[in-house]
Structure 1
Amino acid sequence: MTVNRDFKAILWDMDGTLADSEALHLRTLILVLAHHGVEAGDELHPLIFGKTGREVHALCCERFGLSTDLAAWSAFRARCYIEGARSLEPRPGARNVYRAAKRAGLAQAIVSNSSRMLLEANLNALDLQDPQLVSVSANDVRAGKPEPEPYERAAYLLRLHPNQAIVVEDSPTGALAAIAAGMRVLAWPLDDAGAALFHPAAQIVRSERELAAALNLPSLMTN
């Protein structure tokens, strides 16, 4: 059966969208802060959601009066993350949609605000390693999300115009980056409260099946 679509590729965010990794990112932040004598907890999550590691470091230095070096800070967090990533799980339903899109012959790429090291750890944990996979990390661009560069870079590598790609994001920050790049966005928040934070141009999907339907993937919709 031929399926008509108005896009040629799916660009996936990683953390929170494909990987259920937000709790692990928060845990590494709490650990590095404890290492520097700062006690913190879940209250930090809304402040760091969707931000790059560099932005989180700057935020914490300002908030807690720290003067720690970014390189040492990042290395400590990366070690903690790599250890925790061994037990990382995919977001429920996400890998089903990813694999259905692959079966349908759609081009796919992964666009993350995390460093290359952490992105590769996620790919390995989710069994998504592929020599042909296009992926963009914070190390591959000058400006991360919400700037459009990461998504523009992915479209360039796929040899597509930005309007030929559709983006799946769980964060308003990532959605803004994709919208700025001229792409259609499917926003897949964790809850209804999160849905209210997205730009009006983003189309909200609330489940694996709604996501599959928006991507016109009948093989999943009929399972």
Structure 2
Amino acid sequence: MIKAILWDMDGTLAESESLHLQTLLEALAHHGVTAGEEMHPLVFGKTGREVHALCCERFGLSVDFASWSAFRARAYLQGATKLVARPGALEVYRAAKAAGITQAIVSNASRMLLEANLRALGIEEPSLVTISVNDVRHGKPNPEPYERAAWLLRLDPEEVIAVEDSPTGARAAIAAQMRVLAWPVDDNDAALFPAEAQLVRSAHELALALGLGPE
């Protein structure tokens, strides 16, 4: 029996991947590098520190991570107030809440950006368990973020289910011995998910897989 749903944030609950890409391109431009959409598949699902390391290696940047992340955070916060939910995501979230299912957020984003997303979506609550990359030693695809969420909820892995839009996140939850619902934004990404993940193609399919009927 499912006792909790562990949601990824970026791309799963919030349509924020484009904003993350925008801040990345702005940061690169600030350091004299012109880049575009080709960066998205290279950084999809990665932590901010991993993206910084990738850009330094790929473009020969010497900027330190603190300065880099501060620039990106400022740019992200400017746009975060305009973020919207992924179509259908909050309807499923609210249906699960109405059904009495515990929910938590497990993100590879920093605490500051995660909280900006929670505010934009209007789902901040004092009792909501949220895991950011600042709360763990290793981000996804390491299982630690999901393991920590389950520990805080005092639940075993088989009692929870994770919802992810990225193969990176799905691998993290699978490594934590959890069932995973893979909800890719792009059908082209569907083939990249581990075989253990259950694919859902719409919010309706997601709700059914979670045992939730229409509101």
| Residue number in structure 2 paired with 1:32 | 27
1:117 to 97, 112, 121: 112
| Residue number in structure 2 paired with 1:57 | 52
- Cα deviations by residue, 1:47-95 (Å, 9 ceiling, x for unpaired): 0000000000000000000010100000000000000001000000000
**Structure 2 alignment gaps of length 5 or more:** none
| Residue number in structure 2 paired with 1:177 | 172
User: How do 1:114-193 and structure 2 match up within 5 A?
Assistant: 114-193=109-188
Following the alignment from structure 2 to structure 1, what is the Cα–Cα distance between the partners of residues 164 and 21? Answer: 19
Instruction: Please tell me whether residue 210 in structure 1 is matched to residue 212 in structure 2.
Output: no
CA apart distance, 1:192: 1.9
CA RMSD of the aligned region, Å?
A: 0.6
4+ aligned runs moved over 6 Å, structure 1: none
Following the alignment from structure 2 to structure 1, what is the Cα–Cα distance between the partners of residues 20 and 72? Answer: 8
Following the alignment from structure 1 to structure 2, what is the Cα–Cα distance between the partners of residues 193 and 27? Answer: 21
Higher alpha-carbon deviation: 184-193 or 105-114: 184-193
Secondary structure of 2:155 counterpart = coil
Following the alignment from structure 1 to structure 2, what is the Cα–Cα distance between the partners of residues 151 and 69? Answer: 29
Secondary structure of 1:196 counterpart = helix
Q: Number of residues paired by the alignment? A: 215
Which amino acid is 1:112 matched to? S
Following the alignment from structure 1 to structure 2, what is the Cα–Cα distance between the partners of residues 74 and 129? Answer: 24
2:74 to 72, 75, 79: 79
Following the alignment from structure 1 to structure 2, what is the Cα–Cα distance between the partners of residues 107 and 151? Answer: 15
Following the alignment from structure 1 to structure 2, what is the Cα–Cα distance between the partners of residues 192 and 42? Answer: 17
- Cα deviations by residue, 1:9-46 (Å, 9 ceiling, x for unpaired): 00000000000000000000000001111111110000
Which amino acid is 2:131 matched to? V
- Cα deviations by residue, 1:97-135 (Å, 9 ceiling, x for unpaired): 000000000000000000000000000000011010000
Secondary structure of 1:95 counterpart = helix
Following the alignment from structure 1 to structure 2, what is the Cα–Cα distance between the partners of residues 191 and 87? Answer: 22
Give the TM-score normalised by the residue count of structure 2.
Answer: 0.99
Following the alignment from structure 1 to structure 2, what is the Cα–Cα distance between the partners of residues 154 and 25? Answer: 24
Secondary structure of 2:105 counterpart = strand
Following the alignment from structure 1 to structure 2, what is the Cα–Cα distance between the partners of residues 191 and 39? Answer: 25
Following the alignment from structure 2 to structure 1, what is the Cα–Cα distance between the partners of residues 124 and 105? Answer: 11
Following the alignment from structure 1 to structure 2, what is the Cα–Cα distance between the partners of residues 93 and 7? Answer: 21
CA apart distance, 1:191: 2.5
Identical columns (%): 72
Following the alignment from structure 2 to structure 1, what is the Cα–Cα distance between the partners of residues 99 and 71? Answer: 40
Following the alignment from structure 1 to structure 2, what is the Cα–Cα distance between the partners of residues 90 and 133? Answer: 18
Which amino acid is 1:143 matched to? H
Following the alignment from structure 1 to structure 2, what is the Cα–Cα distance between the partners of residues 208 and 55? Answer: 30
**Structure 1 alignment gaps of length 5 or more:** 1-5
| Residue number in structure 1 paired with 2:193 | 198
